[in-house]
Amino acid sequence: MAYEIVASLCTGCCACEPECPNEAISEKKNVFVIDPAKCTECIGHFDEPQCVAVCPIDHTCVIDKAYPRYEVTA
């Protein structure tokens, strides 16, 4: 699974963008989006997904169920 940003909740504050260790987050028409191909759920980098931890609006950065759980490939 990757994380996704609920566009209707996102304020476009950009707090998440620089925190992402994988540069998976970018701006699109005033809101921010996560590239599921790049998101590793922060596994291997941090204990908490950074976008979730820094986002001022609860339930804006959420698990995207369309993708399988990220696995660390050895």
Find which of another protein, ligand SF4, none residue 47 binds, CB within 5 to 8 Å per kind: another protein
Cα torsion through 62, 29, 10, 14, rounded to 10:
90
Q: Does 46 bind another protein (CB under 8 A)?
A: yes
CB of 74 to ligand SF4, least distance (A): 19
Q: Which of 29, 37, 56, 73 binds another protein (CB under 8 A)?
A: 56
Residue 3's contacts (CB-CB under 8 Å, 6 or more residues apart) are 34, 39, 41, 49, 51, 52, 61, 62, 63, 64
Question: Where does this chain bind another protein (CB under 8 A)?
Answer: 11-15, 18-19, 46-48, 50, 52-54, 56-57
